[in-house]
Amino acid sequence: MKPAEVLKKWWGYGSFRPMQEEIIGAALDGKDVLAMLPTGGGKSVCFQVPGLMAEGLTLVITPLIALMKDQVQNLTERGVKAIAVHAGMNRHEVDLALNNAAWGDCKFLYLSPERLGTSLFKSYLEVLNISYIVVDEAHCISQWGYDFRPDYLRIGELRKTVKAPVIALTATATPRVADDIMEKLEFREKLVLRSGFERPNLSYVVRKCADKKGQLLNVCRGIEGSGIVYMRNRAKCEEISAFLSAEGVSCSFYHAGLGPAARAERQEAWKSGGIRVMVCTNAFGMGIDKPDVRFVVHMDLPDSPEAYFQEAGRAGRDGKVSYAVLLWNSADLTRVRQIEKTAFPSLEFIEDVYQKVHVFFQIPYEAGEGRQLRFDLGEFCSRYSLPESPVYHALKYLERTDHWSFSEDIDIDARVQITVGRTELYDTLLPEPAMASLLDILMRRYAGIFSSTVRIDEEYVASHMDMSVPSLRQLLYRTSLEHVIRYVPADHSDVIFLHHSRLRPGNVALQPERYNMLLGAYRERTEAIVEYASEDDVCRSRFLLGYFGQEDAGDCGTCDVCRAGKRSERSAAELKDALIKYINIEKSGDYTLYDIKSAFDLPGSSPSWKETLRSLIDDGEVPPFRG
């Protein structure tokens, strides 16, 4: 079967997106390949197609648990067997999953990077018939990447045992990062295949403004369709969401402090159109396939061009005109400088946090290796009277120096064990008929449920019980009171996975040279995003593409800088003609005042677009604007 036939059979698409076919061809030829595609460029197809064509199993290494679960679900719904192993699973569950991957005709095994170094995973390597090693979010392996993960370095060791070719994927990598990725993954021959990162339908707009709320409201009222508003902290998410709601905008907020059910409910409501605008931290959006997002607004300066390019790129994946708006002012510059101090606490502070985490969980010296700890940052900081933000960054630095893995916002599924024997169970009198139906479904669905607690899919069980998930949880709780099941409710937590036993004071390797290197790289990225925001004579798109090494990019013609440059030399007749073409052709007569304001109301604009637009409407040359 040819790649195009596989694409048609499993996805129903008649053709590939740019560069997908070339990447797939290189993989089928057995080459190591680094694929660089923009957000929404279809990276998963680049490894799923060759994975379906090859004998054996494709190993997919990714740190994004939400994305991992989503892809496993999508493949399963298409009839392709896929399994995920990630943080939050106990040893028994991991063992069962790896056993199914080895002997259960599985095509895709998704693995979080911290699992690569475990003895349990290594014990299965000989029986896992791996055809491809896929490295998603490959910039995480580079010391120069903005999200370096030491667990990824184990992939180089894996290559010494597994001879399968590597397909590495990323949406954001500078030339230096790309070279480092290929070196760390021990490419037999360097090969980078990249799609052009231009997004011709995406108009970048930067506004320096004192009244960010007012500007945001203009965006929400002026642009129809779904939107995302990114904030830096949870409290601001709730504040801005309340503000927009009071102004009549359909919106909600999303951050990691919400429970799993609330987050899932809001995410689904936004995807289906029940909620128009989502105000959120960067915990929202990763892996969400919603093509019709019309605008993405950043209310604060992002940490880096990489983060901004990825988050802004969630707008307009369907190819229709969309906007990426960045709102900033001088206070943002002060805050960026302050964040550096918080993001890089002293090495003495970091070692103190290391020891206190072990004391918090009562782990003695020379013990703790391999333990998985559910970690509550607020409770920890409250016990030791420590500020949360520096502690968070200390935890992340200890991850970078390979002392532990720190996985945030893990959804831990509900677990159930039937605590009585099968024969005894049939003789047990239960007060509700629904309990017997529940036990019947659990016994048929989950092997081993009599011997240990097993992870259950609450949505699956609820649908077969014809009830809601909250009602199922109440039923599970009532059934546990009858002493026939052990019920561990679903949870949501950060998880620390200890790589080694507790070290004594003075022996914690904190690598000062790495600390200084990371600080320097952080400063480079923050200076770049500040330059992007404050620059007013370089095309926004060309600036971003140049940062990622695409030096031959031309001006986009649609960002605020390009439009300002065009207008500065525009006569009254040219402005009139430009407005007519923009409204009647580009917008098909369906436009808002914000569309015109974004396109024509910028420094250097002359003559006045307002007077010209009013005249065109009065003369019937263009229709009136909406709103």
Six token digits for residue 175 = 């030339």
Average pLDDT over residues 528-546: 92
Six token digits for residue 314 = 């969630």
Six token digits for residue 392 = 């968070």
The residue type found at 96 is L
Residue 604: pLDDT band (50, 70, 90) is very low
> Which class does domain 3-194 fall in?
alpha beta
Whether 337-412+494-522 and 3-194 are alike in CATH topology: the answer is: no
Beta-carbon neighbour count of residue 383 at 10 Å? 12
CB 541 within 8 A of CB 553: yes
Residue 603 pLDDT exceeds 60: no
Average pLDDT over residues 241-263: 89
Beta-bridge partner residues of 49: none
- Count Cβ atoms within 10 A of the Cβ of residue 480 and give its class: 0-12 exposed, 13-18 middle, 19 or more buried: middle
Residue 391: pLDDT band (50, 70, 90) is very high
Give the phi and the psi of residue 161 in degrees, each rounded to 5: -100, -40
Beta-carbon neighbour count of residue 506 at 10 Å? 6
Q: What are the pLDDT digits (tens) for 224-247?
A: 899 999 998 889 999 999 999 999
Q: How far apart are CA 374 and CA 406, in angstroms?
A: 10
Kind plus residue range of the DSSP H or E element containing 597: helix 593-600
CB within 8 Å of 576: residues ≥ 6 apart: 612, 615, 616
Report the side by side order of strands in the sheet with 404-412. Answer: 372-375, 491-498, 404-412
Give Cα separations from 561 to 205, 498, 547 (angstroms).
Answer: 8, 49, 17
Beta-bridge partner residues of 208: 328
Q: What are the pLDDT digits (tens) for 40-51?
A: 678 899 999 999
Average pLDDT over residues 592-599: 77
Instruction: Please report, rounded to a whole number, the percentage of residues in the chain having pLDDT higher than 70.
Output: 96
The pLDDT assigned to 165 comes to 96
Average pLDDT over residues 522-531: 92
Would strands 166-170 and 130-135 be described as parallel, antiparallel, or unpaired? Answer: parallel
- Count Cβ atoms within 10 A of the Cβ of residue 348 and give its class: 0-12 exposed, 13-18 middle, 19 or more buried: exposed
The pLDDT assigned to 285 comes to 65
Residue 485 pLDDT exceeds 90: yes
For the chain, give every domain's residue range: 3-194, 202-328, 337-412+494-522, 415-489, 536-627
Residue 214 pLDDT exceeds 50: yes
Comparing 143-147, 413-417, 485-489, which segment has the lowest mean pLDDT?
Answer: 143-147
Residue closest to 137 by CA, chosen among 35, 217, 215: 35
Distinct helix (H) and strand (E) counts, the chain: 26, 19
Average pLDDT over residues 175-194: 94
Q: What are the pLDDT digits (tens) for 49-98?
A: 999 999 999 999 998 877 888 899 889 989 999 999 987 677 888 898 99
Residue closest to 611 by CA, chosen among 600, 603, 627: 600
Average pLDDT over residues 491-513: 91
Q: Is the pTM of this model over 0.85?
A: no
Burial 35-63 (b: 16+ CB within 10 A, else e): bbbbbbbbbbbbbbbbbbbbeebbbbbbb
Q: How far apart are CA 250 and CA 566, in angstroms?
A: 35
Output the CA torsion sign for 152, 157, 161, 165.
positive
**DSSP code, position 592:** B
Q: What are the pLDDT digits (tens) for 91-125?
A: 888 898 999 999 988 999 999 888 888 889 999 99
Average pLDDT over residues 27-38: 94
Thinking of the domain 202-328, which architecture would CATH place it in?
3-Layer(aba) Sandwich (3.40)
Would strands 130-135 and 404-412 be described as parallel, antiparallel, or unpaired? Answer: unpaired
Average pLDDT over residues 418-431: 88
The pLDDT assigned to 195 comes to 82
Report the side by side order of strands in the sheet with 415-418. Answer: 454-455, 415-418, 485-488
Report the side by side order of strands in the sheet with 226-230. Answer: 202-208, 322-328, 293-298, 226-230, 277-280, 251-254
Average pLDDT over residues 403-411: 81
Alpha helices in 185-325 (DSSP H): 212-222, 234-246, 260-272, 305-312
The pLDDT assigned to 7 comes to 93
CB 160 within 8 A of CB 86: no
Pairwise pLDDT comparison (606 vs 143), residue with the higher score: 143
Residue 172 pLDDT exceeds 90: no
Residue 509 falls in which region: left (phi positive, over 0), alpha (psi -120 to 50) or beta:
beta
Instruction: Determine the 3-state secondary structure of 572 from DSSP.
Output: helix
Residue 569: pLDDT band (50, 70, 90) is low
Alpha helices in 466-571 (DSSP H): 469-481, 512-534, 540-547, 560-568
Residue 347 falls in which region: left (phi positive, over 0), alpha (psi -120 to 50) or beta:
alpha
The pLDDT assigned to 567 comes to 55
- Count Cβ atoms within 10 A of the Cβ of residue 77 and give its class: 0-12 exposed, 13-18 middle, 19 or more buried: exposed
Q: If you average pLDDT over every residue of the chain, what do you get? A: 89
CB 169 within 8 A of CB 46: yes
Residue 189: pLDDT band (50, 70, 90) is very high
Q: Which fold has domain 337-412+494-522?
A: Arc Repressor Mutant, subunit A (1.10.10)
Rg (Cα) of the chain, in Å, rounded?
27
The residue type found at 16 is F
Six token digits for residue 338 = 């302050």
Residue 476 pLDDT exceeds 50: yes
Report cis status (omega within 30 of 0) of the bond before 607.
yes
Beta-bridge partner residues of 305: none
Residue 606: pLDDT band (50, 70, 90) is very low
CB within 8 Å of 434: residues ≥ 6 apart: 465, 475
